[in-house]
């Protein structure tokens, strides 16, 4: 079947995900970050005539788009408005024990970035919201208008890796209250020198605020071990990340979970009793081809890491 639904989000590394999960008609799959349902569609199509998929997202608009798109698969697709940090509980509610494949396509979707009212982008005027869903209480406006200067500097430094974090935080505090995306972007632009061909100076601060508002890194860190546990022996976990902070977490957990002993290297006798539960499928992350990057510039920083659950004796 061909997916001819017009989509506000172009799925990144689409074929690579289908190849990684190799969906089959008896399989159970989780799309932890459903978005517009592009990857989910591909998984269900490849598993036809059988195969079941649980799709999770926090964003009601994404769920609406995905639900229409996946309606051709009727009850083979079950969608829930829930954070992927509860994927195990949601799978168990459906009576699923372990699953054959899980995809996590981290971060923000094009439709979120391109909707001014969501406040993710400094290209449009909008409220400083930046929440993935409507259940998180703290939005970006509340965060920047209430946090202390040192808290803001830490957020911009830790999650945006911006060396001008202190200067930006000071300027934000001097100019509060700030309630719109463009007001924040202009303030940062005035605070920091703009270099030719460099990204907009507000890029890193916007990334940092989004990560902080949605507690993204903490969620990735706690959810990957859960996803590994939820896999059947031989099942695959595929994670697409879009910046080095996320990729580092994925890489570190994959390395640890694919190693038997994780005692400090100088320790003469193992005391950790840790045993490997996965095999890392690709030592180096898979990146989009030049032609995918050209067709979809938002894919350019994507990195895909795949792990396979070990079949233990
Ligand atoms: C890059 S998009 C996914 C696009 C999707 N793979 C597709 O093909 O259309 C990431 C999605 O993850 C969602 N998301 C972010 N954090 C989440 C979380 N903790 N739980 C569930 N969904 C989350 C976002 O709302 C967004 O829709």
Backbone phi, then psi, for 100, in 5-degree steps? -85, -25
In this predicted structure, what is the pLDDT of residue 4? 79
Cis peptide before 49 (omega within 30 of 0): yes
Say if residue 16's pLDDT is above 70. yes
In this predicted structure, what is the pLDDT of residue 265? 84
In the chain, the percentage of residues whose pLDDT exceeds 90 is 88
**8 A C-beta contact, residue 236 and residue 98:** no
What's the full length of the chain, in residues? 313
Transcribe 218-265 into DSSP letters. HHHHHHHHHHHHHEEEEEEEEEEESSHHHHHHHHHHHHHHT-S--S-T
In this predicted structure, what is the pLDDT of residue 58? 97
Query: How many angstroms separate the alpha carbon of residue 84 from the centre of ligand 1?
Result: 9
Cα–Cα nearest to 160, from 132, 192, 134: 192
Q: Which two tokens stand for residue 173?
A: 């505090």
pLDDT (average), residues 283-296: 96
Summarised one tens digit per residue, pLDDT across range 189-224 is 999 877 788 889 999 999 999 999 999 999 999 999
Say if residue 313's pLDDT is above 60. no
In this predicted structure, what is the pLDDT of residue 62? 96
Which residues' Cβ are closer than 6 Å to ligand 1? 9, 11, 33, 35-39, 56-59, 62, 83-85, 105, 107, 109, 132, 219
Q: Which two tokens stand for residue 50?
A: 């059988």
Summarised one tens digit per residue, pLDDT across range 235-263 is 999 999 999 999 999 999 999 999 998 88
pLDDT (average), residues 26-48: 98
In this predicted structure, what is the pLDDT of residue 55? 98
In the chain, the percentage of residues whose pLDDT exceeds 70 is 100
pTM for the complete prediction? 0.96
3-state secondary structure of 304: strand
Query: How many angstroms separate the alpha carbon of residue 226 from the centre of ligand 1?
Result: 17
pLDDT (average), residues 275-279: 95
Reported as a pLDDT band with limits 50, 70 and 90, residue 311 is confident
Reported as a pLDDT band with limits 50, 70 and 90, residue 8 is confident
- Report CA-CA distances (Å) from 79 to 69, 132, 246: 12, 16, 25
Say what angle helices 149-160 and 203-213 make with each other, to 10 degrees: 100
In this predicted structure, what is the pLDDT of residue 268? 86
Query: How many angstroms separate the alpha carbon of residue 35 from the centre of ligand 1?
Result: 5
d(CA 63, CA 104): 16
Q: By alpha-carbon position, which residue is closest to atom 12 of ligand 1?
A: 33
In this predicted structure, what is the pLDDT of residue 13? 98
**Over the chain, what is the mean pLDDT?**
95
Q: What are the beta bridge partners of residue 311?
A: none
Summarised one tens digit per residue, pLDDT across range 107-146 is 999 999 999 999 999 999 999 999 999 887 799 999 999 9
Q: Which two tokens stand for residue 114?
A: 């391109």
């Amino acid at each position: 079947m061909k997916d001819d639904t017009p989509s506000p989000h172009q799925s990144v590394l689409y074929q690579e995900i289908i190849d990684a999960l190799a969906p089959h008609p008896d399989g159970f799959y989780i799309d932890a970050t459903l978005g517009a349902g592009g990857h989910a569609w591909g998984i269900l199509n490849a598993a036809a005539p059988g195969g079941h998929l649980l799709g999770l997202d926090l964003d009601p608009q994404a769920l609406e788009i995905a639900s229409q798109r996946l309606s051709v698969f009727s009850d083979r697709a079950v969608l829930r408005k829930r954070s992927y940090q509860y994927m195990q509980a949601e799978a168990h509610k459906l009576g699923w024990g372990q699953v054959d494949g899980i995809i996590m396509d981290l971060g923000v979707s094009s439709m979120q970035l391109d909707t001014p009212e969501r406040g993710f982008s400094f290209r449009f005027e909008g409220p400083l919201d930046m929440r993935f869903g409507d259940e998180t209480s703290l939005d970006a406006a509340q965060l920047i208008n209430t946090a202390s200067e040192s808290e803001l500097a830490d957020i911009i430094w830790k999650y945006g890796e911006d060396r001008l974090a202190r200067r930006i935080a000071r300027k934000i505090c001097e100019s509060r209250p700030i309630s719109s995306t463009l007001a924040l972007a202009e303030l940062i632009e005035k605070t920091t020198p703009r270099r030719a061909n460099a990204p907009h100076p507000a890029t890193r601060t916007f990334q940092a605020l989004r990560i902080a508002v949605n507690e993204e890194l903490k969620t990735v860190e706690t959810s990957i071990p859960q996803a590994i546990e939820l896999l059947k022996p031989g099942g695959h976990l595929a994670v697409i990340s879009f910046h080095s902070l996320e990729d580092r977490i994925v890489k570190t957990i994959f390395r640890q979970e694919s190693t038997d002993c994780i005692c400090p290297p100088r320790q003469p006798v193992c005391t950790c009793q840790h045993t490997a539960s996965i095999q890392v499928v690709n030592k180096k992350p898979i990146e989009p081809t030049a032609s995918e990057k050209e067709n979809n510039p938002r894919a350019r920083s994507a990195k895909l890491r795949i792990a396979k659950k070990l079949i233990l004796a």
